[in-house]
Structure 1
Amino acid sequence: MRQGRPTGMSGPEPQRLFGRALDAISEGSLITDANQRILYANAAFTAVTGYSVEEVSGRNCRLLQGPETDSIVLAALRSSLLRGGSFRGEVLNYRKDGTPFWNALTVSPLRDDTGRITNFVSVQRDVTAQRKVHERLQFLALHDSLTGLSNRTGLDRHLSGLARRIVTGTEHSAIGVIDLDDFKTINDTFGHEAGDAILTEFSRRLRGKLRATDFLAHRGGDEFVVVIEGLDLRHAREQLQPILARLHEAVDTAFSPGPGPGISVTLKMSLGITLLPPGQEPGNAVFRRADAALHHLKSGNDVRDPWWHLDTTPPTAPDGRTLQPGTAEPDRNAEEKVRSVYDSHIYHRRLFNGGLHLLFQPVIDLRTGDLRFLEALARLRLEDGTILSPGDFLPMLTPQDFDQLFKAGLDLALGQLGVWDLDGRHLRVSVNVSPSTLLHPDCAHWITSTLERHNIAPHRLILEVLEDHIDDDATQSQAFTAILALGVGLAMDDLGAGHSSLRRLTALAFSTVKIDHRILSQLRTSPIPTMTFLATMAQMGQNMGWDVIAEGLEDDGITEAATVLGIPYGQGYHLTRPLPAADVPPWITDFTPPNRSGLMRTLSGALAYHWQFARLGAPHTGPAGACPMTELLNHIGASKAEHWHRQQHTALGDHLASSAELLQWLTIQTTGDGHAGKAEKL
């Protein structure tokens, strides 16, 4: 074999033409036989890997694999090829010299006239730099760039996970706010650069004093937040004393404000701390109590603890009851207990005896208005017709109950697809699945048998798994591989609500990624970081071949912003509420997608549109009269904004200052007191 002359081409001229064409491609390309032995490699492949054509000829592509190549990804690759399908994913490969690189790999089979696979063709692209950028963006989304500690977003995520993880029992957590005393003097005396260096060193010391179970975040300025787990309400003060004494060691040694010798600074720290009961979602009230404890300490009224003060305001249980310090959580009265047990028994019996009811929420192509698929949502219908949401009955279920619920819901959903098939509507459906059900050894069999019973092709089914239930456990990874081998789609649900790494997101062959509705809601409070995240996910979706879906499109502004940022699919009440099965066909017939004019109708959409130019320092394209923002700004009548906007369409090259002014104005309008969101529509 020679580079540029693959076997199977007759005549020298077609071979030369074929070789020149593939050598002109910037991506590496391989052609193998049906047994995956390499027949052809183009110039880009040798440039990226360092292997010559002669060195790879006749060898299996496994020569690119190494010690850190993900076995789960390889299993998905082999499964796809054994089934005669295509594969697309990112694989850690190794060059001839042993250096690793991330390979965006696409492998497709070639068939002869009889349908027999004769060859495989692969396209390979080195995306190592891109992955580093995405990993850095992901890190900065959750961490403070100065100290490397978690930022406010990372703190919120940790506290939400804490509330889900510790939901019962007597174990409490403590949330403390740390403040460096008179730190402004440091900045004024030595400069902000020296102040930043001291904050960085202080953060490093604090991390070294914490237990493995504790958590530290930088709230901004000279304020930090510490989260301490595993406390007993009766003995919290005694348990905290040795933990906090070790924490205070971070300021026992003086700090150096700069490179000059002989200069040192001694710092003092103060801590206000409060308790959080198990299962309670932390909110502003918790931080207000911690801040109040800090203020009380710094006011000089507390003489018991010289540098920290424990808030003594009685915490509240998840149901709002007050828990007195020194006492365990009081039990509910007997009447409430009896009622709860009775309801649970009724709900459980009804759920598995004809009470399971499905609603279907459409997922819409935001570009065309077409239906992409329907998500099946479980409801419990009581004998009197009352419909209960999942929050009313899911908490009482055991893992075995979740298995039974999945099988029943899957049967109903696929059966409904069969009904719609008879009406000439060949739709797709997604079904939520519990991680415990995925781990059941019979789960793949349940799916296969239900598909066969209703004569539904596997690609018409998507399984949705919550992001915060997806981890790197080997058993769960094997379960994912078995499910993928069936040919069904796999969706990561509620991306942004959990703790996914980029490795986890790309290692498994997700066909769909759904962005959590809480991320979308942040367009109203912190639009710039949220738009950065959404635009990054839209680009990653294009690169990885995912269907990226924005959940929680609850109003025109959020929907328009998501569309402008390139999110291809969406679902939410602004598009349609969840529908009974009988209402789906007429909805499909009558649905009119929002805003097909291409013009901006909301300030949120205008902000997203302008931000795409502003982040690049670029002016708007085309004349102002044809800009989709023009009519909206004219309608609002904000003269300054109109002036700044017109400057984005001038050829003078001085648009940058007005671009920043327009971006700031639009940001204020979409986040100000909630009134802008109500009055922004054209």
Structure 2
Amino acid sequence: MQSQHVTNPTQRPVVLFSLIIMVVVLLTLTADYAASRWQREEQKTAVNQQLSALRAALEFELYTNIELIRGAAAYVSLNPDLNQQGFSLYMSRLLEQRNNIINIAGARDLVVSLIYPVEGNEKVLGLNYRVNEAQRDSVFKALDIGTTILTGPVDLVQGGVGFIARIPVVNENGIWGILSVVLDYQEVLREAGFIDQQTLDLVISGHNAQGQLIDVFRDTGSRELQQPVRLSIQLPYGQWQLAAQPKDGWINFTLHPLSWVMALIIGTIACYIAQLRLNNRLLQQDTLSALKLSERKFRQFFSAHAVVMLIIDEHGQIVEANRAAVNYYGYSAEQMSAMSVVDIQTMDRDSVMRHIKRSMVERSSKYAVQHRLASGEIRDVELLNTTIESNGRQLIYTIVIDTTERLEYQKRWELSQQVFNHSLEGIIVTDATLNIISVNPAFSDITGYQEEEVLGKKPDFLGSDLYERSFIEQMQFIITETGFWRGEVWSRRKNGSVFPQLLSISVVKDDVGAAVNYLAVFSDITSLKQSEEKLERLAHYDALTGLPNRVQFQLHLQHTVSLCQEVRQHCALLYLDLDRFKVVNDSLGHAAGDELLRMVTERLSLRLRSSDLLARMGGDEFVLLVEDYKHDSELEVLARKLIDEMNQPFYLVGEHEVNVGGSVGIARYPADAANSEDLLVRADAAMYKAKQAGGSKLAFFTSDILVEASSRLTIASELKRAVAENELELYLQPQIDGANGAVVGAEALLRWNHPVKGFLTPDSFIDVAEQTRAIRLVTGWLVKEVFGIIERWQTQYPQLFISFNVSALDLADNELLRRMTEVLADHPIDTSRIELEIVESAIIENFESASSILVKLRKLGFCVAIDDFGTGYSSLAYLDKLPVDKLKIDREFISKLGEGEQSGVVKSIIDLAGNFGLRVVAEGVETAEQEHLLKAMGCNRVQGYYYSKPLPMSEFEAKYLTL
């Protein structure tokens, strides 16, 4: 009989209890392992978060300090001949913001010649990067890639350790050199939190300029990192690796007593549950049915919802993607079901699987990552993960939220905050009711008010009492109508001082067009106003003598003649010209000539009544307006006194005795002229009559003098012959780059080889040519000659330019434009090599026509310069509208450099040119001292007898060119 094994029913609870105990123990061990694993992951997360914060702080410190000086490279590029003083001035203003910069060095041609601050960094000056092995590779690396690089730590020449940012400086001439920014190694790391943190072992590593891997920073003591968390630190070019682990080490597997207590309780409960299992089986079947129904509803919800959803298994495989996911990623449903999340992630596979495993362990989790669409576009997304069960499998239900626009908006907002905080202009933001809600640091710097002092106030507390109510109402009207207002206003600082400012006000509106904020941006223009006032005086008064100039005098003369017409009174002009002034100027120099003109002014002023007006018309010509005289004999007596004064010797500095004499022409109103213009012309004609009589004479205007004007017509006709028979000749005076002594161009000056009168300068015939319109023939000849010279030069000397003078008559119509266009067709040259020089009066006399013609010429590529700037009609209003490229500072100012106010005028003109983006050249340079002062002021283009007198074409080419 076959035996059978029969289980004793009394043994079944023991077996079941044993199985339960074994399962509980296994589950407890698993729970302990999971808890330890979870704690270690939490530990890694905490380290990662702390490391991310340190990385962000370090990147912020590096970029903040480097960005402070990025504009410096552009400034040096635009000012390649910048000296130490200008460099220090610019950098000191730039580095007023908080920074950890030790110094900024400018290395033209890779040799440090500029440094800020100088104190403490003297050893750096003269450092040649080509031979300095410690820094050479990084310099050439920056030049090679053409962008900013950061190296370090580096042992500094002046002592200490620092990071060094290298910024190449390039301008139109090529590579200027390198700009090096030294950051304080310890302070940068301390500000970023690396020095004082106590919880992590840290190592920063990166490649130096030779490609070797080095430790940038190590704070690990004697320990080596074990499975550290690693992050990349982005640099301006390249990156560092940041690694860290907890100072106390990583958490390993441990047994948790609480888990075993819980296991005991669970085991007891499990035994009880086992007894109830049979009773609950039917209930479980009902529950299973309910779950299937719930899953079916979830599937419907999942498929139809507009939010991007994915279901992922433990291997990262996409189990299912809803319609929104298919549309978002751009793949078909079949493609999505065959893909893994690794295929849409920008992270490496190991990082993706770590996230998946963590999400499987945690009930819910959230990650910020980047996903790649089918089109290749990278999008920032936020993943919300929840674990679910389906058919006995544990899956991850993921909601994908696109955060690209939000992050970009956040970056733009952060950038706008940087601009707001670092702007050099003051900024005020108000709400719709004009209450201040924010101001930037520049506002406090300019006004003296801190932000907490002005919040809630209305901006009008800064100086609304300085204006008429109508002005404020007009401003408000324009803002309401256009949403913008810009103009110059006055404002009051906290200390009570009033200053001018350039103010712009804009309205910020919502989607329906309602004003929600007002934005005011302003800058202090005190310095600009002071320069404008100086130039305004220069426009109406002679800089040398302090007398009214031609413009101011003509305005006064017009007023006086008008008044005489009304009250039937008389007035007269005495036109005085020195007889031998040119001899003094040529033999003793311009400085002696200027001194003589000042002494003449003093003597003439002693002979005047309080009602008389003395003015300098230019050169050695003076004019005296005499009002309300009775008899011609009074004018004759006054004229003879003036002549007697001029006949007395003048004693100049250096014990030079000079005798010049003077001739006086007299014209009377209304006897000789019916208006101010004719009165001035006829006094001038009478003066020429007196000079023709031998000098030191006086002459009243008579009708016979008009006859002499016909002789000028003779000169005009002879000019026509001179052009036809090629009697005109060009002399060239070089313009020099004061920084290196190189010739950069030349000014073309006319000479007339008259067959009878001999060699004539423009002073002898240009005035007549302009008065008789013969200047058009002269200009036409001059244009052809200049074009021909440039065409000959442009192959071997394409950088050289030639400038020539254009008269007011040439700018009265389109004749000059037509002639230059025609000659350009026959001479295909680089038009930027030709420069037209125009005195201010030539433009202002017919501004609309002249400005229009010059605009057209500049569109063709020609350059325009204002000649004798500062002696005529200088005006900021006109200068802003004129189509010009260069200012030529008049020789009168250059000759008085070093005399206090005159130096200030020259510096103001140079600064003014810089503000308007114009080049500047100083003419009439005659001494080394003048050259030195001009370089210090930032003017490196010069012209004058110190370098060369005007030379015939052949001599110029033989001396400066090799054709």
TM-score range, shorter-chain basis? 0.3 to 0.5
Greater strand proportion: 2
Superposition TM-score, scaled by structure 1 size: 0.48
- Which entry has the higher C-alpha Rg, 1 or 2? 2
- Of structures 1 and 2, the one scoring higher in RCO (CA 8 A, sep 6+) is 1
